[in-house]
A and B are shown apart, each in its own frame.
Chain A
Amino acid sequence: MAVDMRLPTVIKAMSLSVSAADRKDMVVPGDVITSDTGFMRGHGTYVDEDKLTASVAGEVQRVDKLICVRPLKTRFNGEVGDVVVGRITEVQQKRWKVETNSRLDSVLLLSSVNLPGGELASRNDLCSAEVQSVFSDGALSLHTRSLKYGKLGQGVLVQLSPSLIKRQKTHFHNLPCGASIILGNNGFVWLYPTPGQQEEEAGGFYTSLEPVSLSDREVISRLRNCLLALAAHKVLLYDTSVLYCYESSLQHQVKDILKPEVMEEIVMLTQQKLLEQEG
């Protein structure tokens, strides 16, 4: 039984060397981006007395004549092809409403679900799906037209900011440390024990309620704490960064990872490893 009590300390912003070339064009709401009227205004900007001004806090992106500001922290704005992990909030006649951390609840039409037994999902269940299209009001239409999508069984959900998830070719990873991860583009990350050989063939409709082994549980708890540590220090999340963080954390006990000084140490080691790998 342990109690970890301490006095609060001011959190210092921690960053490895950022060269002048790397420094991005950051703006806050109200900052004037340009006074040149030749540009088209994109998302996150507005025109104020012939000056293009930012309306959100983020980095400026310029594509030829189009200027837009991509916000650092925002609700999930889905695009076609994004993989999401969502929670079913409502079961209606021909569709499900899924909460995906966006401005509006996403829609999973029953016609877009063609899995054996896929209709057995009920309220508060988690599922993985792909964005099929975007409605005119911005709501996402999801589908689970593949065996890799479907209802999720036992595991841990970690809710993070969508801007921390790196866009990659695949979002489903079986990590070598002994657990599997789904990095949803909407910031919802699902950690679960790697399914055995026979279970994978069965598809996504059978949820096993068998107790998960203690070693798998430890791996999943460690991964969860590592994800939270990386998110607290605003590190981009993808399979490599999560794995490096896991390896750097092995010297500490699982429950100690969330202490501020341990978090800082682990994230610094991870960032160093990532820089070495790229450089």
Chain B
Amino acid sequence: MATVQVSEAEKVYILHGIRDDLRVDGRGCEDYRHMEVETDVVSNTDGSAKVTLGHTAVLVGIKAEIGKPRPLIPNEGYLEFFVDCSANATPEFEGRGGEELGTELSNILYKVFNNEHSLDLRSLCISPGEHCWVLYVDVLLLQCDGNLYDAISIAIKAALFNTKIPRVHISSDDEGGKEIELSDDPYDCMRVNVSCIVTLCKIGHRHVVDATLQEKACSVASLIISVTHKGVITCTRKVGRGSLDPESICEMTEAGRRVGKALHSPLIKLLQQEESLGKKRQKVGFLG
């Protein structure tokens, strides 16, 4: 992970500030930084989104293909993740430097999203045991300023909103071969709705949401929570070398549930607003 160096006196300043609910940039402990979301930025994918959260920028592209379901779970589709830490983000990612972070990120994404409670994997099934939708999710880190999981999950949610998966029907024809049938209506497709990830960093005796790299340097342990729009927690992970006592875990989980639940509706509203602009929307892309 890209790290910044922070002196002891700066750490004390940040710690006391968080204790008083006033962070260095004036935010409260549960406020997010300014976020910008744009979908349909990569033309050769089935769905894509670019999310900028403060100075963290993430690009997600999704390709949907028909494949064979996993042998142990024949009536569900699945997602495949690949996270690429671009050297654009920080010189530490040059060459193979970003591989470790990329593998860590994709492992956690697998844990969160290949869980039937985070998203409805059964809707990705076409014919049990034989065909299902496989969504290949490619994540590219463009800029790194803390809170990667949240930014990646929002980008994945936006990209999946942008991915229209057609409803297919597989029938067997006379010779025993399989035929894929699409409905005549080009708008007959489905969308996958997923949960959002909230990262809570323990700093001193309090926790913060959306920590910057400096705040991360003052924290020794974090909790990663995946929350659906109904407020159901589907996955929890503790990261970091430090320890968390059970009371703080309960507190942080409750805060995560609250914050995560409140992330969904503004995002969906924004994405629907963007979709309603249709062709009139001025695409900003990467050179805005």
Instruction: Check B22 against A154 for contact (C-beta < 8 Å).
Output: no
Q: Chain B residues near A7: list those with CB within 8 A.
A: 36-38, 270, 273-274, 281, 284
Nearest A-chain residue to B281, judged by Cβ: A7
Residue A21 interfacial (CB < 8 Å): no
Complex partner residue of B284 from A2, A9, A207, A257, CB under 8 angstroms? A9
- Mark each residue of chain B from 239 to 274: 1 if its CB lies under 8 Å from any CB of chain A, else 0: 000000000000000000011001100110010011
Residue B176 interfacial (CB < 8 Å): no
CB distance from B92 to the nearest CB of A (A): 15
Q: Chain A residues near B259: list those with CB within 8 A.
A: 1
Instruction: Check A255 against B26 for contact (C-beta < 8 Å).
Output: yes
Q: How far, in angstroms, from A145 to B282 measured CA to CA in the complex?
A: 57
How many A residues face the partner with a CB closer than 8 A? 40
Nearest A-chain residue to B258, judged by Cβ: A1
CB distance from A90 to the nearest CB of B (A): 11
How many of chain B's residues touch chain A, expressed as a range? 35 or more
Residue B28 interfacial (CB < 8 Å): yes
Complex partner residue of A3 from B16, B17, B19, B32, CB under 8 angstroms? B32
Complex partner residue of B24 from A1, A224, A260, CB under 8 angstroms? A224
- Mark each residue of chain A from 235 to 279: 1 if its CB lies under 8 Å from any CB of chain B, else 0: 000000000000000000111011110000000000000000000
Count, A-B residue pairs, CB within 8 A: 117
Instruction: Check B22 against A222 for contact (C-beta < 8 Å).
Output: no
Q: How far, in angstroms, from A240 to B266 measured CA to CA in the complex?
A: 39
Q: Chain A residues near B30: list those with CB within 8 A.
A: 1
Instruction: Check A221 against B274 for contact (C-beta < 8 Å).
Output: no
Residue A183 interfacial (CB < 8 Å): no
Residue A156 interfacial (CB < 8 Å): yes
Instruction: Check B284 against A10 for contact (C-beta < 8 Å).
Output: yes
A1-B30, A1-B258, A10-B282 are known contacts. Are A211 and B16 too (CB-CB below 8 A)?
Answer: yes
Residue B181 interfacial (CB < 8 Å): no
Residues of B within 8 A of A (CB): 5-10, 12-13, 16-17, 19-20, 22-28, 30-38, 52, 209, 258-259, 262-263, 266-267, 270, 273-274, 281-282, 284, 288
Closest 8 CB pairs of A and B: A254-B26, A255-B26, A1-B30, A154-B13, A221-B26, A8-B36, A211-B16, A8-B284
9 contacts between A and B (CB under 8 A): A3-B35, A5-B267, A8-B52, A154-B13, A155-B9, A211-B16, A217-B17, A255-B28, A258-B25
